[in-house]
Amino acid sequence: CSMRQGKWEKKAYGKGFEVSGKTLGIIGFGRIGQAVARIANALGMKVLAYSRSHRPEGETLAAYVDLDTLLSSSDVVSLHCPLFPETENLINAETIAKMKDGAILINTSRGKNVDEQALLDALNSGKLRGAGLDVFADEPATNKALYNHPMVSCTPHIGAATMEAQKRIGAEIVEIIRNF
């Protein structure tokens, strides 16, 4: 942060991006996707959801749509799906082409759900305005061009790195073992 160096570079950060009134498309609408939808609703966003399984409780949080509709209608696309053969490289050159020009992609699910080269190409061409990444195809991340890209905000897979999240994970594991 340049402020730590005593600089006040307000104009260097360009124009902001308000989320209120924007459309958030959530791919994977389980527990985490629904939690994100609650936050997005509170921020005044329209929320669309695409999921392999239609969960009736999610209907109060988002409108369920097909993947193409979600991609073409969303200002921000957020991934919350597990890694299965059918979700590997789910976001690729073809699906990115269906996204709105200037959209933002957020991936906090699994790194291999996104074709990193296709994402990098979309960022470089201006097709996508930015990306937020907490997960990468290889971890620790090796794609320097991607994690050093000026339009990428990234963290080193810390989505569940809180004491509260670790307690929940531990409780879930105990419950799975107990049920087994």
Active site residues: 110, 139, 157
Q: Under a CB-based contact definition with an 8 Å cutoff, are residues 109 and 80 in contact?
A: yes
Q: Which residues pair with 46 in a beta bridge?
A: 23
Contact partners, residue 107, CB within 8 Å, separation at least 6: 78, 79, 91, 113, 114, 131, 132, 133, 134, 135
Stated length of the chain: 180
Q: Sign of torsion, CA 65 67 73 79?
A: positive
